[in-house]
């Protein structure tokens, strides 16, 4: 369990960082006064302070020094300079958690003081509605308690699972990028309904709820998606006609390729 008196700091307060902060406060993991954030954009920080009651600063070192758990929520391209500026403030009692896509644990362990406890996490944008899918990998110095802490924090905004670092690029390609693969599907299904005469608002609502319901049904029943598909596809019915159209269009291969391409890009980002 996260010590509710410990202080959590965010370096970077963009969409993902702010979503995590809201989830942490909503779940009661720490009180707002024990949460801090730094960012280069001061007006956004002031909005967060007014909305959440957290501590803010445009100076990364202020948040780093005050935090027991430091969450790095910056773009991979800026991470090098951020770590260089932070390393003087990283002490052995601090836990570092990074959500930068594609960046391996060794990057942090080599850039920060020897023995620094680091955990790598890949959440996704659904953290903004507390439905994130997050993969978590421990660094060589991270303890089992550190992992419990990370799992609790990220479970506050959805579902979190532990994975070996060798699969973190796959997590990035699957759940990290995945929402962007599903949004066009929701839109396309709605387009089909609009073509058949339904109004746009109803079509989008029904399409989105269909995706949500299907996912929830699989997660809650534990059934294989193939079994669930068979439950809906009666002989010579409407659904099997639609499934046939999807197979003709190569939808399965397209989604597999989307995950593979995104995974490969994550690997490339980690080498830069």
Structure confidence by residue, pLDDT tens digits, 185-196: 999 999 999 999
Is the separation of the CB atoms in 169 and 263 below 8 Å? Answer: yes
| Residue 95 clears pLDDT 80, i.e. is over it | yes
pLDDT for 177 equals 94
Domains of the chain: residue spans and CATH = 8-168 (3.40.50.720), 178-271 (1.10.3730.10)
Question: To the nearest 10°, the Cα dihedral for 128, 77, 100, 40?
Answer: -50
Residue 236 annotated as part of some ligand binding site: no
Does 12 carry a binding-site annotation?
yes
Q: Could you report the per-residue pLDDT of 225-240, keeping only the tens digit for each?
A: 999 999 999 999 999 9
| pLDDT recorded at residue 59 | 95
The annotation status of 16 as a binding-site residue, yes or no, is yes
CB neighbours of residue 36 within 10 Å: 25
For residue 11, say whether it is annotated as part of any ligand binding site: yes
Q: Give the mean pLDDT of the chain.
A: 94
Residue 14 among known ligand-binding residues: yes
Nearest to 97 by CA among 39, 182, 199, 10: 10
Of the pLDDT bands very low, low, confident and very high (cuts 50, 70, 90), residue 266 is confident
pTM, two decimal places: 0.88
CB 29 within 8 A of CB 152: yes
Confidence class for position 54, pLDDT limits 50, 70, 90 = very high
Residue 270 has pLDDT above 90, yes or no: no
Sheet bearing 55-57, strands edge to edge: 55-57, 35-38, 8-11, 69-72, 95-98, 117-122, 132-138, 158-162
pLDDT in tens, 107-118: 999 999 999 999
CA triple 270-96-3, angle to 5 deg: 150
Write out pLDDT tens, residues 144-174: 999 999 999 999 899 999 999 999 999 999 9
Residues ≥6 apart with Cβ < 8 Å to 159: 131, 132, 133, 134
Percent of the chain whose predicted confidence (pLDDT) is above 90: 82
Which has the closest alpha carbon to 97: 153, 45, 54?
Answer: 153
H or E, element range at 56: strand 55-57
Tell the burial category of 1 from Cβ atoms under 10 Å away from its Cβ (0-12, 13-18, 19+). exposed
76 is in an annotated binding site: yes
Question: What integer pLDDT is reported at residue 101 of this predicted model?
Answer: 84
> Do the annotations mark residue 73 as ligand-binding?
yes
Residue 107: which residues within 8 A CB-CB, separation 6 or more? 79, 83, 270
Residue 43 predicted with pLDDT over 70 = yes
């Amino acid at each position: 369990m996260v010590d509710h008196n410990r202080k959590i700091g965010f370096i970077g307060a963009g969409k993902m960082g702010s979503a995590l902060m809201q989830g942490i406060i909503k779940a009661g993991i720490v009180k707002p006064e024990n949460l801090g954030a730094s960012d280069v954009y001061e007006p956004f920080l002031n909005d967060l302070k007014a909305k959440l009651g957290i501590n803010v600063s445009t100076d990364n070192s202020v948040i780093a020094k005050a935090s027991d758990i430091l969450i790095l929520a910056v773009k991979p391209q800026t991470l090098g300079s951020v770590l260089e500026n932070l390393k003087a403030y990283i002490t052995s009692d601090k836990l570092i958690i990074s959500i930068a896509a594609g960046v391996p644990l060794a990057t942090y362990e080599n850039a920060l003081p020897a023995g620094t406890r680091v955990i790598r996490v890949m959440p996704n944008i659904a953290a903004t509605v507390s439905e994130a899918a997050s993969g978590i990998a421990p660094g060589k110095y991270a303890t089992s308690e550190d992992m419990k802490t990370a799992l609790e924090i990220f479970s506050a905004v959805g579902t979190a699972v532990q994975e070996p670092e060798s699969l973190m690029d796959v997590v990035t390609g699957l759940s990290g990028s995945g929402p962007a693969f599903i949004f066009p599907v929701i839109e396309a299904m709605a387009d089909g309904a609009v073509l058949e005469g339904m109004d746009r608002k109803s079509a989008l609502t029904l399409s989105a709820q269909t995706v949500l319901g299907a996912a929830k049904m699989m997660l809650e029943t534990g059934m294989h998606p193939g079994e669930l598909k068979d439950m809906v596809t009666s002989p010579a019915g409407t659904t099997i006609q639609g499934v046939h159209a999807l197979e003709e269009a190569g939808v399965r291969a397209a989604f597999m390729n989307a995950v593979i391409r995104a995974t490969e890009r994550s690997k490339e980002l980690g080498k830069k």
